[in-house]
Amino acid sequence: MGDRNAERRPAGELEAGVLAALWAADGPLSPGQVQEIVGGSLARTTVTTILSRLYEKGTVTRSRSGRGFAYTPTEDASGLTARRMHAELAKDEDREAVLSRFVSQLSTEDERLLRALLDGEGDAP
């Protein structure tokens, strides 16, 4: 049986652990395989619920595997972070203010990198 304290962690932390397992895999994983990778501290039903929520958010895809599903992430960690940043930006009507504050808080190195990317000099996909 799983550790009840593990299942009381914030949903974002649980999702991050499940996503990390999927990103490390060579292919689709079943909920049982994900449970083994995350150390078995979560009940299989909890892992299945987390995977279902990630599927509903479009963060993972799923395909039939036996009587259940196997899950694959739709993008890598960087892609997911970028999608979250876009979602946060879309929540505010004053995009200029949000972007201005974001840029004003960048480190010198991040500002240099962003400038290079905007000028087409970076290695962004």
Which pLDDT band holds residue 80 (cuts at 50, 70, 90)?
A: confident
Q: What is the 3-state secondary structure (H, E, C) of the chain?
A: CCCCCHHHCCHHHHHHHHHHHHHHCCCCECHHHHHHHCCCCCCHHHHHHHHHHHHHCCCEEEEEECCEEEEEECCCHHHHHHHHHHHHHHCCCCHHHHHHHHHHCCCHHHHHHHHHHHCCCCCCC
The fraction of the chain above a pLDDT of 70, given in percent, is 87
- Check residue 41 and give its pLDDT: 76
Record the pTM: 0.70
- Measured on CA atoms in the order 52, 53, 56, 57, is the torsion positive or negative? negative
Tell me the per-residue pLDDT of 9-65, one tens digit each, with 9 for 90 and over: 666 889 999 999 999 999 999 999 999 999 867 899 999 999 999 999 999 999 999
Instruction: Judge whether residue 125 has pLDDT over 60.
Output: no
* Mean local confidence (pLDDT), 63-80: 93
